[in-house]
Amino acid sequence: MDDVTIFCADQRSVTALVQTCEKFGKASGAKVNCGKSEAMLFGEWHLASSAPFPFTIKPDFIKILGVWFGKEGAALKSWEERLAKVNTKIGLWSLRHLTIEGKALVLRNEVLPVLQYTAQAWPPHVTVCRAITRTVFRFIWGSKMDRVKRSVMYKEPRKGGKGVPDIPTLLRAAFVCDCVRRTLQQKNGSAGRSMSRLFLLPLWRGLSWDKWDSSIPYNWHTPWFYGGVVKFVREHQLEGLKPDLWKPKTVHKLIRAQDSMELVPGLAAATAETVWTNVASAKLTNGHKDLSWMAIQGGLPLRSFMHARNLCKTRYCPRCPFVEETSSHLFWQCPFAQGLLDALELELSDCVPRNRLTHCAVLYGLFPGNFGDEATREAWRLMNCFKDAIWLARNRLILKKERMSFLDCRRLVHSLLRDYSIMDRSDQEEED
């Protein structure tokens, strides 16, 4: 009898319910605590004054299995509670230094599960979806300002995105999938099925899902929480999906499959895919994946970017007067970058000659000629360590007014390369 919900049609049923419980109590020695039990009255109830109502009457809302039900606003109340929990969780995770990769993982494995359960009872309102999205991107960027378009962030890494889970879409999908499965798949007899069919069958007809059965009751006055279901199906062009494929993960995958490839300026679409695969390579650390990706997608807080948003007085490179600080300047054209590449000539000679190096190698991992997979992988790692050193030197110069020499930077590159060889060795040991 723990956490049981019982529907009673009138006060006589309530009295019968109490009597049944008492009878059961006498036989088993267990006792129902009526004072702790709650009731909610729907419609008109004329309570008899002779027999007091045995349960605490809740006027507005009642919580059943962790979700609020009752008068209008129950859904929002449930979501507000969940969002508060999410904010606490994200607040704690924000204290750590995480890469975007790491944050996407936290969102998928720590944040989404907190919300998924509620989404089965109540689909999230537009306002709730907006609040979730705001929280997600504040967490990702560590500030109110986004540095890359949200639609790009949601795309898969091999299409130029960061694979950030689109939580509102996943939650809406969870609700829709439940509705579809309940009404089109489940066998007769479940209460949830009959209730959902009452309101959803007329909607399904609108989608020409020919499961129309007018022998069972149906209702055209659909409550608001079912209203978004058809909208979701149409929005994502899922009309043709077979009933057994309606699973949130499958639906989300299909939605992501509709994403277009992010283009890299100056490169053909086919090459763009290679670039994104390089950037998201499992052979790079998460930090380097982020840095390489941001250098292309404009996610780095460079002066040209900050100046355009009125967040920086100058848009010029700290080393080159009157030359705009863009990522291709910082990592390639800037004399400091060229000087460091010269200093790395020896390291480069293992994979690609210094004089054949182009900005495509540094930024995109596209090397001239064919050096074989392993040499190319090493070269791409070296390029990432180089960019890491350049980025660190740039930040030290701007934030601390410290100048790093080429020798300092080269040492840094060496220590980063050493980290990679340690990473390889532990991978190897795991395999062994």
Count of residues near Zn ion by CB under 5 A: 4
Question: Which of 289, 329 has the CB closer to Zn ion?
Answer: 329
In single-letter form, the type of residue at position 353 comes to P
CB of 345 to Zn ion, least distance (A): 20
Question: Which of 137, 336 has the CB closer to Zn ion?
Answer: 336
Residues 201-240 that bind Zn ion (CB under 5 A): none
Question: Which of 283, 396 has the CB closer to Zn ion?
Answer: 396
Letters for 36-65 (x = contact with Zn ion by CB under 5 A, - = none) are ------------------------------
Residues 142-171 that bind Zn ion (CB under 5 A): none
Question: Which of 338, 415 has the CB closer to Zn ion?
Answer: 338
Distance CA 95, CA 421 (A): 29
CB of 329 to Zn ion, least distance (A): 6
CB of 177 to Zn ion, least distance (A): 52
Letters for 258-297 (x = contact with Zn ion by CB under 5 A, - = none) are ----------------------------------------
Q: Of these, 241, 254, 267, 320, which contacts Zn ion (CB under 5 A)?
A: 320
CB of 264 to Zn ion, least distance (A): 22
Which of the ranges 7-15, 88-96, 220-228, 309-317 carries the binding residues for Zn ion, by CB under 5 A?
309-317
If one asks whether residue 319 binds Zn ion (CB under 5 A), the answer comes out as yes
Distance (Å) of CA 61 to CA 72, 123, 187, 240: 9, 18, 31, 38
Residues 321-350 that bind Zn ion (CB under 5 A): 334
Question: Which of 334, 382 has the CB closer to Zn ion?
Answer: 334
Residue 29, phi then psi, degrees to nearest 5 = 85, -5
Residues 360-419 that bind Zn ion (CB under 5 A): none
From the list 112, 96, 251, 100, the residue with the least C-alpha distance to 161 is 100
CB of 352 to Zn ion, least distance (A): 23
Question: Which of 360, 397 has the CB closer to Zn ion?
Answer: 397
Reduce the secondary structure of the chain to three states and give it as a string: CCCCCCCCCCHHHHHHHHHHHHHHHHHHCCCCCCCCCEECCCCCCCCCCCCCCCCEECCCEEEECCEEEECCCHHHHHHHHHHHHHHHHHHHHHCCCCCHHHHHHHHHHHHHHHHHHHHHHCCCCHHHHHHHHHHHHHHHHCCCCCCCCHHHHHCCHHHCCCCCCCHHHHHHHHHHHHHHHHHHHCCCCCHHHHHHHHHHHHHHHHCCCCCCCCCCCCCCCCCHHHHHHHHHHHHCCCCCCCHHHCCHHHHHHHHHHCCCCCCCCCCCHHHHHHHHHHHCCCCCCHHHHHHHHHHHHCCCCCHHHHHHCCCCCCCECCCCCCCECCHHHHHHHCHHHHHHHHHCHHHHHCCCCHHHCCHHHHHHCCCCCCCCHHHHHHHHHHHHHHHHHHHHHHHHHHHHCCCCCHHHHHHHHHHHHHHHHHHHHHHHHHHC
CB of 337 to Zn ion, least distance (A): 8
CB of 424 to Zn ion, least distance (A): 34
First to last CA, the chain: 53
Which tokens in the block code for residue 343?
A: 């200093």
CB of 427 to Zn ion, least distance (A): 37
Question: Which of 111, 337 has the CB closer to Zn ion?
Answer: 337
Which of the ranges 132-140, 169-177, 252-260, 315-323 carries the binding residues for Zn ion, by CB under 5 A?
315-323
CB of 332 to Zn ion, least distance (A): 10
Question: Which of 18, 320 has the CB closer to Zn ion?
Answer: 320
Which of the ranges 80-88, 114-122, 318-326, 396-404 carries the binding residues for Zn ion, by CB under 5 A?
318-326
**Contact at 8 Å (CB) between 164 and 153?**
yes
If one asks whether residue 302 binds Zn ion (CB under 5 A), the answer comes out as no
Question: Which of 334, 344 has the CB closer to Zn ion?
Answer: 334
Q: Of these, 306, 317, 340, 363, which contacts Zn ion (CB under 5 A)?
A: 317
Which tokens in the block code for residue 88?
A: 């606490």
Question: Which of 158, 319 has the CB closer to Zn ion?
Answer: 319
CB of 338 to Zn ion, least distance (A): 10
Per CB under 5 A, residues contacting Zn ion are 317, 319-320, 334
